Structures are given as C-alpha cells and as structure tokens.
Chains A and B, each alone.
Chain A
Amino acid sequence: MDERWGLTPMVKVEVVVSGEDAQVVTDLFSTAGAVGFTAVANVSGVGHGGAHQGRLAFNDRNALALLMVVLPPAGVDRLLDGLRSLLAERPGVLFVSDTYVSRPEYFR
C-alpha cells in the first residue's frame, strides 16, 4: 500500500500489435493469470516500420491494436516470458511501467 495515496502498487503492461495478433496477446494475459484487460482496436501511429493507419473501413484485423493489462508484480515475469518470445518474430512494441490501483482485489 502506497502510504501517500492509499493505493496498491501493480505493474502495467501495454502492448501494441497487429489486430490479428491481439487474440494471442490476450491468451498470454490469461495464461499469466490476468483476470481482465483493456483492448483498443484500430489505433494509428508511427514506428520504426513506418506509419500505421488507424481504422480501416473493411478490415479489422490488419490495423493496430493496443492491449493493456495490470498485474501484481509476481505475475509479470511469466507474462513477459511469453511476450518476448512472441515479439521476437512479430511486429509490435511492449511497455512495462509501475502503476497503482485503488481496488487490488480486482487484479488478483
């Protein structure tokens, strides 16, 4: 429990991948013990592979998706193990950061 805010420390993992890889990433979340996640479909941006258009009129699978999950620190190693292996061959980016939540029981 963080004394200043009365919040519990957790780890937030954010992944941006092609929409067609979103299912595998959420499978990884589940296997790592996550009980929930957030997915944002059709995100746009620019990366080392160039520009990526956002929403495509007739294709949901080949636009980028942003997936976010919050886990207790103990579960993060297992998740990163899978994500690193996936991203060794698939385009995508991974961000890991400390975060705080008010209702830790929702994330365990």
Chain B
Amino acid sequence: MSTRTFSTSHVVALVERATRVVPVLWPLESAVAANPLWDLRSHSFTSAVAHARRALGIVGLPPAEVLADAFRAGRLTVADLEAALDDLDQPDGATEAEPVHRGAPAPPPSMLVTVLERHDQLTGGRMAAEVDREVAKYCAAYLGGLLGTSGVVGTGFLDQWRAAVVDDPAARRLGLHGVLEAVAGGPETVIATVLARLVLDEAGAVEELTGQSARLLGWAAHAKWRSRWAAPDHPGPALHLVDYLAVRLLYDLAALERLGHRAGPGACCDHLRPAPGSSPEVPPAALVGGPAGDRLARLDATAAAAVWLAAYEAHYRDDLLAVLERPSSQPSAPPSPGALRAQVVCCIDIRSEGLRRHLEASGHYETFGFAGFFGVPARVWPFDGGSALDLCPVLLHPTVELTEEAGEEAAGAARHAGLRQLAVVERAVETTREGPVASYLLAESAGVGLGPLAVLRTAAPATFARLRRWVLARLAPPADVHPVLSGPGAPSDDEQALFVETALRTMGLTDRFAPVVVLCGHGSTTENNPYGSALDCGACGAARGGTSARLAAAMSNRAEVRALLAARGIVVPDETLFVAAEHDTATDTVTVFPPAELTPTQADRLAVVERDLAAAGAELAVERAATLPGAVRRPRRGAARHLATRSADWAQVQPEWGLARCAALVVGPRQLTVGIDLERRTFLHSYDPGTDPDGAALEAILTGPMVVAQWISAAYYHSVVDPDVLGAGDKVSHNVVAGVGVYQGAGGDLRLGLPRQSVFVGDEPFHEPMRLLVVVVAPRERVDTVVARNPVVAELVDGEWVHLAARDDGRFWRRRPGGGWRQWHDARTDAHQLGRPVRLGRPYEVAPTGGHGEEERHG
C-alpha cells in the first residue's frame, strides 16, 4: 500500500468524493423530499444502489414480502415478469457496462467499514459505538447553541468542541487529550494528519471518510446540507462536513492509539473479513412457477430483485398508458373561454389532481398544472417576522427579494403590536420554564388552566383550534397582507413580464384566456407535526404556496406587465383577472385571495368560482377520507368535518398522506388526462408541444419539475424499501433536535427520509415503491434533443432512475436507456384484463370504522 500526506486542498476534494453517497438532510422548517442517492446519479440506478448497499447498508430494492403480496393480489403478473426477464436478456444498450448476474450466486458485497470498526470486529469491542455517542452529543449541543464557550477563537464545530471537550470525563476515558495536543490546526489539517497517522492511501482515505460519514448518516447528511446546499448566510451554527469529520477522526485516532492499534500495511485490521453487506431478498421462484419461475431461479438475488421491481413498475405503466389510450381520453379541443367560469392553474403536486378533476366535472373549468412557485423565484420576508422564506425549488436560487405589507396601515400596526406582546409573553414563559426553581412554580400556577385546555385539545381538537384562533385574533388581529412589488430587491417590470411569460409559455396558456385565471398554490395545516413542512409545496422549498400565487397573480394583473407581454405576443384581455388561491391539502378547503379592488362583475364572477372551488374541495374530501387510517366513511359534510378535525388534532400522526403513492409525471395537454381518475398518483405538468417548436419549454420542465418529481418519488421509495436507514421511523417516539431533525427516542443519530406513518399502514406499505414514470406528449426527436443537451436529464433517463415514455404520432413509445424508442403495446391481451376497470396500482381503501359518534375524535 502506498501512502501519502494529503494537502489541505486535497482533503477538501477527498471529503467531496467520500460523501457523494451521503444523502442531504434539510432542516425541519423546510423538509425537502430529496433523492437520497442523488449525488450517485452519474452511475445507473442499479450501480448506485449497489454502491450505497456497501457504504450505507441499504437494500435499495423492494422487500420480498411486498412483491410476493403484490403477485398474489394480481398487482404484478407472470406476464409482467416474463417481459422484465426478456428486457434483461436483451439489454437496451445501457450507457455503462452493467454486471448481468447469472449462474452461481455472486458473493454478498463486503460492507465498507472504518479502521476503528474493523478493530472492533477483531476484538469484539464497541469503541466505534462509543465514539458515535460522543459525536452525536456534541453535534446536538453545538446546534443547540450550548457550546458557545466565550473566548474561543473561531465559531466552527471543531473549535467549539476542542474548547468544550477538555473538561469531559468521557474524553479522558477515550484517551482524547493526548491526541488533542498532538493534532492541531483547522479541520482540513486535522483530517490530513489523522489520515497520515492511519497510513492510508488515496483510495483508503476516501473509504475511511465514507465509512466515517456512514456511522451517523443523519448528522453527516445535515452537515452535507450545510456545506453544499445552505446559503452561506443561513442563520445559526454551521456544522460543516470537514469539521464534523475532523472531530470524528480525532475520536477514532484516540481510541485506536489507546487500543494499541498499529497502523500501516499488515496492521491489525487488514486481514479482517469485513461483515457482509445487505442483500436483497426476493420472493421464491416457486411462487411464480412455470418457465418464468425457472428463469428467475437462475438469477442471483440482486438481479432477480431488479426483475421483480421492473415487473412491478411495468404493470403500473401498462395500466396508466392503457387508460390514457382509451378513446374517451383521446385529446379533444379544450373548452372555449366563453364557456368557462375560470381557468385554474394548480401545482403539479399529485394532490392537485383530485381538486382539478372535481372542479372540471362541473364543465365550467379548464385546469393547468405548473410548479407551485409559478415561476417566481422569490425570497420573501414575512410580515409577521421571522426568517426569510425562499419560495422556489431548492434547485433554484431566489433572484428577487421582497417584503410583505398590510393593505391597511392601521390593521398592520395593530397586528405587529399584538405579535410583539405575544413574543414578550412567550419569552417570559420560556425563561421561566428553563429556570431550576421557576419551572416548578410555572407548572403549579399555570397547570390549573392549562390542564383543562390540554383535555379540550385532545378531546375536541377542532373546537380547541377555533378557540385558539379566536383568542389569537383578539390578541393579534389578522391583517390583509400582500407582497410588495417594489423596493431594492423587487423585480423590474421587464423581469416581472419575463416571469409571467415563462410560466404561461411553459404550460401552454398563451391565448384563449378566461375572464378569471386562478393561480392556486397549496399548503397543509397540521398540528404538533415536526414534518409539517414536508406536506407543504415542494416547488416552494417546502413552504406554503399562497404567497407565490399572490406574487404571480399581482404581477400578471399589472398594466405594465400586460403591455410587455403583448409586445412579446401574449395578449391577455383587459377583462381577464388573475386571482391567487391556496388549497389546504389537509382539509381540502380552498382560500381565495382576491385583489383589493374588484369591479362588481369581477366580484360576482369570483364569488361563483369560490363557491365551485369549495364544492370541488368537499368532493375531494369524501374521496380522500376513504383512504385515511381511522377515518369514518361519511357523506360529504361529514368527511369535510372529519378532515378539519384531523388537521387540528395534536395527537394525529397521519393528518394526510402527502405525496405517498406518487407514481408518474405526465407532461402534456390536460386533454390527455381530463376526465380520468388518476387516483391522486400523478404529477401533472401542462405542456403544449404545438407552441414549443425549439423544445425550450420542454427543456425547462425536464430539467426542473421532472427533477423535483424524481426527488419526491425517490424519497418515498427509499423510505419504504430502506426504512431503517433512509426512513424517519415512528413519529410517536420522535424528539426534535435543535430544529434540524429528529431523534428516535432520546438521542443518537438524526433520522432521514419520511416518517413511517407517511408511507406505511401498520406493517404494510401504503406507498408503492417504484421509480418515477415520466410520460411526455411531444415528438420523440424533440425529447431526444432535450435529453442529449442536458446531462442531468440524460443521467436520470439513461441510468434508469426514471422510466420515460412519449406520446407521439398518436401512439405511446418507451425510450430505451442509452437511446432509441420502442413502441408500446398494451400487452394485456386477455379479454378479462382488457375489460376490467383499470386501477392504477393496487387499490387502497381503509376499512370503514364505526367512529365514536362525536366527530371530534377520529378513533
């Protein structure tokens, strides 16, 4: 083994390479659902999963029992498996050499472990676990602001930890003090020194750093967010990757030296057999039987699991494309604007599909799908105070910065005064609560009043929520707040016109404007839910979408912007009014934010639209309540009331399903999908191939919204298939840590991904783990052009992170990884299958429960 001393600059690059397998964990205030393997996407999905299996111990493929259950239920069939096996026999020219596992089973991959872990394996020690406990303890203390030792030079984690750890008995026990004296310098220097002391070559150094990151993956994922994704001026302590790894390595070095570890070639660890990595399990081939079963039996576990996954996905794909191909769903002319009460633009989020479907059922609405930030990447300082919100996908940097103001100055001043008083009270309570004696006094004095309130909040959450709103409205009266389109960071008229034009052209709404165009964002109202922001709008950086809708609507109504749009060929009639709205996906209520000044005609039109939105929401509530665990099947009014209660319930761990069961993204005119119940499983992005000859709009969609949809799909996928490593565990025992994440229980690592209750019902997955299916209505040549000139799209498509299909020449086509298209045929030739109602995946509906008579409790 050749070893070397690394420069500090080299260490930065090594850390980057070593942590590509580490997911990114956004803080809870903006819990972005991201593909945990995103930084491995230059590899195929199969290779990336294999790499992560070795580094992180994930499985990466659906559990055998899920697939076996699906097979028994007809959710995937022998024909699906045979087709997937045929694809395996005739690979579609993947871009990289993929191992095809045949014959004798391949040995399980060895897990990547750190030097200290190997030592533990040899000696039966638990030093690595002890180091984890210490590191987690200091990470939490640092982010909680508890390490702010005065007089310490530097505010980084390494500096603060060095100052604090000298008085720590645990550090003495681990023999850290000698190492602290011997290894000085900044984090890069420390890492370089320890790697040299461990006598590691470059490959060994990368593996050691990867192994260090994988030990407490959640903390590493938070540090990666801070180092790679957070704005440099993001407030709060900054736990950077290099600091985090430096501290870990110092602990490990101390432990190894104390244990008498001899570094270098032939040292104690080199001969050890690493622990086997996780291998996927697959249903027994005998379950399938026949020739397909024989073929599956000849594959090793990894290859067989990949075939099962492909078959599972293909079944959904065939069902979806079959239903889209039926004559009733063939494109027809959209309704004429004169027949419309409004055009409604919703977010592409799968939860919007239900609202759109019920709204369109009245025959008076045309709907569109567009990313819920409506094309305006804005940083907004909320009127009520607090940190600025970046209201755009995390792939974008905000380009405009705005404040909010109240419509009436007096109302705004009254609200601010009330909020200030509330803040004073809150601070006083917090201070008292933290005092050693005062906390007891607080409990004694306030308990008399708070006890009954807690009972009310538990027994009648909706009543409590109304009471709280009433009290808060009196203490800090609500004001009509709107974003200000002027000021130093505000966009110019030209920029505003460009934002509006880009949005309209991308969704294909460039003429035929209705008298009212509603821009409908979405958010979710839940109680006592650390993951609340995960239910908000992903396109708005995991925030509510109402503000983005108001911004876009305000810009679209300005005369200056309309004039610029007209000069660019988009003539919006004078009578057309853009209006913002927000769909609450927990309650299925829709709040409309009308402009301050309306003509009587506009007010009348808007009243009708508001009524219809409420009716559509009520229909959606009935549909959605049937899928929520513990919900009571009731008619329209009861369902809406149940959802409202559920939303306000502080003990409710499943307030809504979020984006669970998301399965596909359809990019095309609504005429392809209108009238079809897509079961709230598809992202819908409007796109008119006829108005996009150069593919610019398609490029924007495939490089932006498609990436966001893939992230969400992958986050849900891995939360189901790898719940222990890439899922957030049981909400019931979550403890929030410094606002950045949650522990399971009292301490340890931060949890990644989505809580168990977001993707499972009991032990059964509610979310069907599949890779995202992307269906694009566009000429294949145009799709190929977009793929070819955008590496990120090529990686996702050719690496089979997504499956891509196109609607072209009146037929569906499947894109082969690496290029080329194969016409899709409905393989379900059997009359029974063709005649059956198409269910898009395995149907799910909760068993009806009796309820408690009292609507407040959900049972």
Write the residues of chain A forming the contact surface with B, with a CB cutoff of 8 angstroms: 18, 20-21, 23-24, 27-28, 31-32, 49-53, 56-62, 78-79, 81-86, 88-91
Which of B17, B502, B790 makes the CB contact (< 8 A) with A85? B17
**A61 neighbours in B (Cβ, 8 Å):** 395
Which residue of chain A is the closest to B707 with respect to CB atoms?
A59
Nearest CB in chain A to that of B505: its residue: A57
Given A49-B791, A60-B395, A28:B9 Cβ within 8 A: yes
Nearest residue, chain B, Cβ from A21: B16
B397 at the interface (CB under 8 A from A): yes
Tell whether, in the assembled complex, residue A28 and residue B13 are in contact, meaning their CB atoms are under 8 Å apart.
yes
Asked whether B227 lies within 8 Å of A23 as measured between CB atoms, the reply is yes
User: Is A24's CB under 8 angstroms from B699's CB?
Assistant: no
Q: Are A62 and B502 in contact (CB under 8 A)?
A: no
In which size bucket is the chain B interface? 35 or more
A52, B16: Cα distance in complex, Å: 23
User: Is B234 an interface residue when CB atoms closer than 8 A count as contact?
Assistant: no
Q: Does B559 contact A (CB under 8 A)?
A: no
List 15 additional A-B contacts (Cβ < 8 Å) besides A56-B699, A85-B17.
Answer: A18-B791, A27-B227, A28-B9, A28-B12, A53-B789, A57-B699, A57-B703, A58-B371, A58-B393, A58-B703, A58-B704, A59-B707, A62-B792, A83-B9, A90-B16
Contact A62 B188 (CB under 8 A): no
Give the nearest-CB partner of B395 in chain A.
A59
Q: Quick check: B9 and A82 within 8 Å, CB to CB?
A: yes
B10: contacting residue among A85, A89, A90, A91, CB under 8 A: A85
Assuming the A-B contacts A23-B228, A28-B9, A31-B8, are A59 and B703 also in contact, with contact meaning beta carbons closer than 8 angstroms in the complex?
A: yes
Q: Would you call A58 and B13 a contact (CB within 8 A)?
A: no
Q: Which residues of A contact B791 (CB under 8 A)?
A: 18, 49-50, 52, 62, 91
Contacts of A50 in B (CB 8 A): 788-789, 791
A60 contacts B227, CB within 8 Å? no
**Cβ contact within 8 Å between A82 and B703:** no
Interface residue? B202 (CB, 8 A): yes
Q: Tell me which residues across on chain A come within 8 A of B393, comparing CB atoms.
A: 58-59
CA of A51 to CA of B13 in the docked complex: distance in angstroms? 26
Q: Is the CB–CB distance between B9 and A52 below 8 Å?
A: no
Set of chain B residues within 8 Å of A18, measured between Cβ atoms = 791
CB-defined contacts of A85 to chain B, threshold 8 Å: 10, 13-14, 17, 202
Q: Please, what's the 1-or-0 string for B701-716, where 1 marks a CB less than 8 Å from any CB in chain A?
A: 1011101000000000
Separation in Å of the B370 CB from the closest CB of chain A? 10
B417 at the interface (CB under 8 A from A): no
- Interface set, chain B 773-826, CB cutoff 8 A to A: 788-792
Query: From DSSP, what is the main secondary structure of chain A's interface residues?
Result: mixed
- Least CB distance from B618 to A in Å reads 33
Are B396 and A59 neighbours in the complex by a CB distance under 8 Å? yes
Nearest first, the 8 A-B pairs at minimum CB distance are A58-B704, A82-B9, A57-B700, A85-B13, A62-B792, A86-B13, A82-B13, A51-B789
Q: Give the residue name and chain of the B residue nearest to A29 (CB).
A: B9
Is B627 in the interface zone, CB < 8 Å from A?
Answer: no
Which of B188, B700, B707, B792 is in CB contact (< 8 Å) with A31? B188
A60 to B392, CA, bound (A): 11
Contact B502–A57 (Cβ < 8 Å): yes
In the complex, whether B44 has a CB less than 8 A from a CB of chain A is: no
Of the candidates A23, A60, A81, A84, the one whose C-beta lies within 8 Å of that of B396 is A60
The chain B residue with its CB closest to the CB of A80 is B9
Which chain A residues lie closer than 8 Å to B12 at the CB level?
A: 24, 27-28, 31, 82
Q: Are B700 and A56 in contact (CB under 8 A)?
A: yes
Query: For B788, what are the chain A residues with a Cβ–Cβ distance below 8 Å?
Result: 50-51
6 residue pairs A–B, Cβ–Cβ below 8 Å = A24-B13, A58-B371, A58-B396, A60-B396, A62-B790, A82-B11
In the complex, are the beta carbons of A82 and B699 less than 8 A apart? Answer: no
Is B7 an interface residue when CB atoms closer than 8 A count as contact? yes
Shortest C-beta distance, A72 to chain B (Å), equals 15
Q: How far is the CB of B685 from chain A (nearest CB, A)?
A: 11
Say if the beta carbon of B506 comes within 8 Å of chain A: yes
Contact B17 A89 (CB under 8 A): yes
B704 contacts which chain A residues (CB < 8 A)?
A: 56-59
Give B509 Cβ to nearest chain A Cβ, in Å. 16
| A78: min CB distance to chain B, Å | 5
Q: Are B703 and A56 in contact (CB under 8 A)?
A: yes
Q: Which listed residue (B7, B705, B707) contacts A62, Cβ 8 A?
A: B707
Q: A81 contacts B395, CB within 8 Å?
A: no
A61→B397 CA distance, assembly (Å): 9
The reply to whether B790 and A81 form a contact with Cβ atoms under 8 Å apart is no
Give the complex CA separation of A21 and B17 in angstroms.
11
Residues of B within 8 Å of A90, CB to CB, are 16
User: When chains A and B are docked, how far (Å) is the Cα of A28 from the Cα of B789?
Assistant: 28
Given A53-B699, A53-B790, A57-B506, answer yes or no on A78-B9 (Cβ-Cβ < 8 Å). Answer: yes
1/0 per position for B1-25, CB-CB distance to A under 8 A? 0000001111111101100000000
Taken residue by residue from 371 to 406, chain B's Cβ proximity to chain A (1 for < 8 Å, 0 otherwise) reads as 100010000000000000000010111000000000
A83 to B395, CA, bound (A): 24
B203 to nearest A CB, angstroms? 11
A20 CA / B41 CA spacing, docked (Å): 13
Using Cβ atoms and an 8 Å threshold, which residues of chain B touch A83?
9, 13
Which residue of chain A has the shortest Cβ distance to B399 in the bound complex? Answer: A60
Closest residue of A by beta carbon distance from B6: A81
Q: Separation in Å of the B462 CB from the closest CB of chain A?
A: 38
Contact A81 B703 (CB under 8 A): no
A81 and B707 contact, CB distance less than 8 A: no
A65 to chain B, nearest CB (A): 12
Q: Are A81 and B502 in contact (CB under 8 A)?
A: no
- List B contacts of A81 (CB < 8 A): 7, 9-10
* B680–chain A nearest beta-carbon distance, Å: 23
- CB B231 to nearest CB in A, in angstroms, measures 11
- Bound CA–CA A53/B793 (angstroms): 11
Interface of chain B residues 467 through 510 with chain A (CB within 8 A): 502, 506
Complex contact B9–A32 (CB within 8 A): yes
Please, which residue of chain B has its CB at the minimum distance from the CB of A56?
Answer: B703
Q: How far is the CA of A90 from the CA of B791 in the complex (A)?
A: 13
CB contacts (< 8 Å) of B375 on chain A: these are 57-58
Please indicate the chain A residues that have their CB under 8 angstroms from the CB of B396 in the complex: 58-60
B9 touches A58 (CB 8 A): no
Chain B residues near A79 (CB-CB < 8 A): 9
Which of B8, B12, B371, B699 is the most central at the interface, judged by chain A CB atoms within 10 Å of its CB?
B12
Q: Which residue of B lies closest to A27 (CB)?
A: B12
